[in-house]
């Protein structure tokens, strides 16, 4: 059996080894021999060299060549189409899409990052890189949290990452980090497992972290303001109760004396004065209560 490709027909029945570098030739010969051994036709992409020595990609369709009488495979027939330009265009399109997506990731808001199972950064956006003291996300690739400004918090961060990978579930938590400038920042982090599409295994984690430091400070200020307001309200209540007590005590004494005068005297004029005094005390106490309740 002869392993001859389309090259042989075009080049006076020379073999691939006579026309191509050893590595390329061996790949073509191996593919040809597999087709002849299996007796099945095959369509595949092959790399070769053109007349100028440039690499060319061909889409080849090959099938066994059989003896008309015995049916035995005696060689191979093949047709190949030069698809170099199409492949180059596909590669350029893929690279363009990749660059476009990476630019979107780089400029994405918040802190976006992904790590492998060992906690090594595989990529991130610019915001994440800047927080670590770098200009680009590329500078963070290959590093772990233990190599970065927040290394003191790295153990806690790593523990959460492991929990996400082991459980296979999303995890939302607040994380404290020391930034490149030494500032302490609080992040609201949402982490999910990073799945391998082919194996369906978890290869790491994907995380999005939002800086909520200012929000936490505002919340703390609101808590403190509420506590101050509650303390002031308590002090006001105690003050008003003291005023009510200080006013009621002497008025109660006056009202009691007026009651005794009215009960013990027979003088109509004194009874009238005592009655007026009692009514005045009652009216004044009611007025004081209304005023204090409205404050």
- Answer whether residue 183 shows pLDDT above 90: yes
In this predicted structure, the answer to whether residue 18 has a pLDDT above a threshold of 80 is no
Q: What is the mean pLDDT of the chain?
A: 86
Whole-number Cα distances in Å, 295 to 59, 236, 247: 91, 9, 16
Q: Can you tell me the distance from the alpha carbon of 79 to that of 57, in angstroms, rounded to the nearest whole number?
A: 13
pLDDT at residue number 22: 77
226-249 pLDDT, tens digit per residue, is: 999 999 888 888 888 888 788 878
Token pair, residue 196, equals 């391998």
Q: What is the pLDDT of residue 24?
A: 79
Of 82, 80, 77, 86, nearest to 35 by C-alpha is 77
Q: What is the DSSP string of 19-50?
A: HS-HHHHHHHHHHHHHHHHHT--EEEEEEEE-
Band the pLDDT of 225: cuts 50, 70, 90: very high
Rounded CA separation 253/258 (Å)? 9
Task: Point out which residues pair with 139 in neighbouring strands.
Answer: none
Q: Which of 4, 80, 6 is nearest to 36 (CA)?
A: 4
Classify 67 in phi/psi space as left (phi over 0), alpha (psi -120 to 50) or beta.
beta
Its pTM stands at: 0.57
Q: What is the pLDDT of residue 16?
A: 63
Report which of residues 102 and 154 the model is more confident about: 154
Pick 30 or 24 by higher pLDDT: 30
40-91 pLDDT, tens digit each: 999 989 888 877 778 899 999 999 998 888 889 888 888 989 999 999 999 9
Distances (CA, A) of 155 to 40, 81, 90, 176: 57, 57, 44, 12
> Angle at CA 261, nearest 5°, toward 256 and 266?
155
Task: Look at strands 111-116 and 55-66 and give their pairing.
Answer: unpaired
Residue 57 vs residues 73, 95, 204: alpha-carbon distances, Å = 27, 18, 36
Res 61: pLDDT: 93
Confidence of residue 8 (pLDDT cuts 50, 70, 90): very low
In this predicted structure, what is the pLDDT of residue 282? 84
User: What's the average model confidence in pLDDT over 91-114?
Assistant: 88
Confidence of residue 121 (pLDDT cuts 50, 70, 90): very high
Beta bridge partners of residue 208, listed in sequence order: 112, 190
Mean pLDDT check: name the lowest of 103-117, 142-156, 167-181: 103-117
pLDDT tens figures, 242-290: 887 888 788 788 878 888 887 888 888 888 888 888 888 888 888 877 8
> Exposed/middle/buried for 241, CB within 10 Å: 0-12, 13-18, 19+?
exposed
11 falls in which pLDDT band (50, 70, 90)?
very low
- Please give the residue that has the higher pLDDT: either 51 or 15: 51
Q: For residue 127, which phi and psi values (nearest 5 degrees)?
A: -60, -40
Sequence-separated (6 or more) residues with CB below 8 Å from residue 13:
4
- Residue-wise pLDDT for 132-173, tens only, equals 999 888 999 999 999 999 999 999 999 999 999 999 999 999
Instruction: Outline where the chain has alpha helix (H).
Output: 6-10, 16-19, 22-38, 84-107, 126-131, 154-167, 213-264, 268-294
């Amino acid at each position: 059996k002869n392993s001859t490709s389309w090259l042989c027909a075009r080049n006076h029945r020379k073999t691939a080894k006579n026309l191509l570098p050893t590595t390329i030739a061996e790949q073509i010969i191996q593919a040809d021999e597999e087709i002849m051994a299996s007796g099945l036709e095959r369509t595949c992409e092959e790399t070769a060299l053109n007349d100028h020595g440039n690499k060319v990609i061909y889409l080849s369709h090959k099938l066994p060549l059989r003896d008309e009488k015995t049916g035995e495979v005696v060689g191979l027939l093949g047709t190949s189409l030069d698809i170099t330009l199409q492949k180059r265009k596909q590669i350029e399109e893929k690279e363009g899409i990749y660059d476009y997506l990476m630019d979107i990731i780089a400029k994405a808001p918040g802190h976006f990052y992904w790590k492998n199972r060992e906690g090594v950064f595989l990529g991130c956006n610019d915001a994440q890189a800047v927080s670590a003291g770098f200009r680009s996300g590329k500078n963070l690739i290959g590093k772990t949290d233990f190599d970065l400004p927040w290394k003191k918090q790295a153990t806690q961060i790593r523990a959460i990452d492991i929990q996400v990978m082991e459980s296979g579930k999303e995890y939302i938590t607040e994380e404290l980090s020391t930034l490149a400038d030494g500032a302490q920042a609080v992040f609201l982090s949402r982490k999910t497992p990073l799945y391998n599409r082919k194996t369906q295994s978890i290869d790491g984690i994907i995380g999005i972290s939002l800086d909520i430091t200012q929000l936490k400070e505002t919340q703390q200020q609101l808590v403190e303001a509420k506590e101050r307001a509650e303390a002031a309200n308590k002090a006001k209540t105690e003050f008003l109760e003291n005023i009510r007590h200080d006013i009621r005590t002497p008025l109660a004494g006056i009202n009691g004396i007026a009651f005794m005068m009215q009960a013990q005297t027979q003088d109509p004029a004194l009874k009238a004065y005592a009655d007026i005094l009692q009514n005045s005390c009652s009216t004044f106490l009611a007025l004081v209560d209304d005023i204090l309740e409205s404050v």
